[in-house]
Structure 1
Amino acid sequence: MKPAMKIFIGLIAAIGVIRFVLTVAGVSNSVVKYASMTVIIMAGSLYFGIASSTHKERLKAAYLLILPYMLIEVAALGFTWASGRPTIFHAPEYSMGTGIAVHTLGHFVGGLTWEPLMVFVVMEIVWAIAAGGRWVRAHAIG
């Protein structure tokens, strides 16, 4: 695993833990929402979209970026479910009106299927744009 991936995984996990601690401590969701794992995942998508040289590497990177997010989401939803204490992880704006069981299962299934695939698509778009720019520079007349 590349050192950069370890850093991104660590950042995603750290932000997720901070998000959980803040919500359990009773900090308002309007504040906690700024501890965003998604922002770190998107930054990683941009980085690995450019830094990874093959489609296979980008697909692996997409799964590795989603893994800590999914684990924290499922664990936090499990806490919410078991304790009955509301947390930002099952707030109405994030649960799409589903019950806690469906929401938890959705994150688990999504984290293994469509979520990393969507991150992979973003990486592929970034790669295509970067590759196009490299091609233009390599073939520029002048």
Structure 2
Amino acid sequence: MQRDTKLEISLLIMRLTFAAFIMVWAVDKVVAPAHAQKVFSTYYFTQLASDPMTAIGFVQIAIILAFAAGFLRFWSYGAMLVMHAVSTLSTYDKLISPWEAGPRGLLFWAAVPTLGAILALFLLRDRDNLLSVDAARLR
């Protein structure tokens, strides 16, 4: 198959910017578990103690690093897609009526095109070869 440099650069940009986007929330669980607990109880309707929240943050960081490196693409890209889909769908009420949540309610809609981007990246994961551990192993 002929290399498509523009596509590979585009997919790399999507992968790295999405990793940075999600990394902020994973690191929040580690450095500010109380804030993460508040977010979790608001949007996931359950309360988690600080230690499990921190552990989840570390697991997410490991997955994000694998994803950013293009390692185990089916699993790491799939995990990222599931993580973001769950977080996006947990705010469904803000998505249905963004104006009722005040001016900040519109910000929840930023997650929707981001979800589309990670879905596209998952579907194109075999073409995401630039700076990818999996692609390097296959060469």
- TM-score normalised to structure 1 length: 0.36
Of the two, which has the highest radius of gyration? 1
